[in-house]
Structure 1
Amino acid sequence: MSKKRIALAVALLGVLASGNSYAQTELRIGMRDDPGSLDPATNATFVGRVSLQSICDKLVDIDPMGNLVPMLATGWEWSDDGTEVTLSLRDGVVFHDGTSFDAEAVKYNIERYRTLPGSRRASELAVIDTVEVIDDLTVKFILSAPSVSLLTQLTDRAGMMVSPTAAEAVTPEEFAKAPVCAGPYKLAEYLPQERLVIEKFPDHWRADEYTFDRVTYLPITDTNVRLLNLRAGDLDLAENIAPND
């Protein structure tokens, strides 16, 4: 992903967690396309990535300056030879269905991303040979070779954690339409090519930092139409407006 796209993704999430006192409780964002699959394992679009980061917290995050910062993993420690990395996990986190987030959930997610048919994350995590659960809040990745990019991969969809309970309860096709994660917002409605609606998750570990109760992503493929909707007040934000506009 380009630096400009990373910056936009971070900025959009930053608006959600701005902490300012807005009179309105809903944010409407015009996007250039439909997000497609909402399963982090199979999603392959920029719009999907922007949408999913509000639904699915990641193991590691990236700040506006491009630095790696803790998210669901509060810290990490590399072995001297660079072939093992041990992650300390955040305590008290729950998925949207009430399932607890722990080391077993991390193990499940990494193995799912590596083995699920059609997974777009398999190549991104190919360097992980084994996932070892140390205790409830500690997990170790044993690598086939040193990797300087692994933690960066975990700031994107490869690091997004889904509920093992929910993922096992339905088919992959059903889960791609209604993912269950541990992010600040949970899925409320998804009508492909029409709208994606997410609602604030009150049990999120940073719930008090998120202002809007509801966020709606609207796929509007025509940049001129997005601009007109923005000017008319039907959108609060619009992505990818033509430079000359």
Structure 2
Amino acid sequence: MSEQTLSKTTLTETKNASVEIHGLSRAFDGRTVIDALDLTIEQGEFVALLGQSGCGKSTLLRILAGLDDEISGQVTVPSRRSAAFQSPRLMPWLKVWRNVVLGLPGKPDRALATRYLAEVGIDQRAGVWPKTLSGGEAQRVSLARALVREPELLLLDEPFGALDALTRVKAQRLVGELWQRHGCSILLVTHDVEESLLLADRVLVMDAGGIAHEVTVDLPRPRDIGSPEFVAMRTQLLAWLGVHDAATNAAPNVDGNAAA
């Protein structure tokens, strides 16, 4: 696997991990957002990243995507990586299929675009303008654009945040299916605890510029949100995030049980 470093350190190669981060720090106007962070994401692993607004989640994703290089520390990532964001960011003056292959070398290939649009169930809309798409359709196009690059690392920054509840559930299922089909590593930044547990192998909670907590989600797929194990993990994560757990109608304690 070819890799590149985003920091000004010696190129690091590894056979056992998709992402290696050592001592990563990032500050804005003297305010440290990421502080000496260490993290490994294995090849093919699905990792979800939770945390309160401003904790550095999206900053970390932007660094991994190569959109922010004002850092210290060492970050090694696959050279083949792509990202999808909460806003699909489609070019309105290009037809849907041209948005999918935008930026790829060579002549725009409609057949290639249509193949990936078919993967996300929207190939019948290949020839329309982006303005005619619904929010869910536009997000599917964004996913197709990310997948057409055949990434070894797929970075997702709140990709379902603007969708209605039903469309969001469908999009979550689609991402899970695509991950299993392609076998790439995924880092999902989200505020949705339930979403993270439904999709990820491992859920991280970011706080004070680092990874404060993590949960390994070793539940069988598809996951049952009503199972005792799922509820316990959700309660634990909400406790770490300092959020009231409406499912138990009580404030959770750090052991994942409702406080008396």
The TM-score bracket by the shorter chain reads 0.3 to 0.5
Find the structure with the greater CA-based Rg. 2
Relative to the length of structure 2, the TM-score reads: 0.31
Higher RCO (CA-CA < 8 Å; seq separation 6+):
1
